[in-house]
């Protein structure tokens, strides 16, 4: 099993790649800045920075959650896939 920090890094990379593959114009200038896995592993908080129309980008991510979870399942082996929670980077804990 991975350490939590290693797993979060792996999830961040896999998710960033999956988002790029969506080819949604609302996500064109979007960066996945960090992720935080809840202690029970049920929720992955994904902190993103959108350089334009942030609310539309967050809406697009929420709409694509099923496809993103499928992409994560192909890239990272987990016992249970977490629910994805997309948040603006400025809401990231220090």
Q: For 63-85, what is each residue's pLDDT tens digit?
A: 999 999 999 999 999 889 999 99
Global pTM reads: 0.87
pLDDT for res 92: 64
Which residues of the chain fall below pLDDT 50? none
The parent domain of residue 36 ranges over: 4-91
Q: What angle do CA 87, 75, 73 make, to 5 degrees?
A: 70
Distance CA 1, CA 54 (A): 35
Dihedral angle over CA of 36, 60, 88, 80, nearest 10: -10
pLDDT for res 55: 92
pLDDT for res 28: 87
How many structural domains does the chain have?
A: 1
pLDDT for res 94: 56
Q: CATH number of the domain that 29 lies in? A: 3.30.300.20
């Amino acid at each position: 099993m991975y350490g939590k920090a290693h797993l979060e890094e792996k999830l961040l990379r896999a998710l960033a790649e999956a988002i790029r593959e969506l080819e949604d114009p609302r996500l064109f200038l979007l960066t996945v800045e960090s992720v935080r896995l809840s202690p029970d592993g049920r929720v992955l908080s994904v902190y993103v920075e959108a350089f334009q129309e942030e609310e539309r980008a967050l809406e697009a991510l929420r709409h694509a959650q099923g496809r993103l979870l499928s992409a994560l399942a192909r890239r990272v082996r987990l016992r249970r896939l977490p629910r994805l929670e997309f948040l603006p980077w400025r809401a990231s804990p220090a």
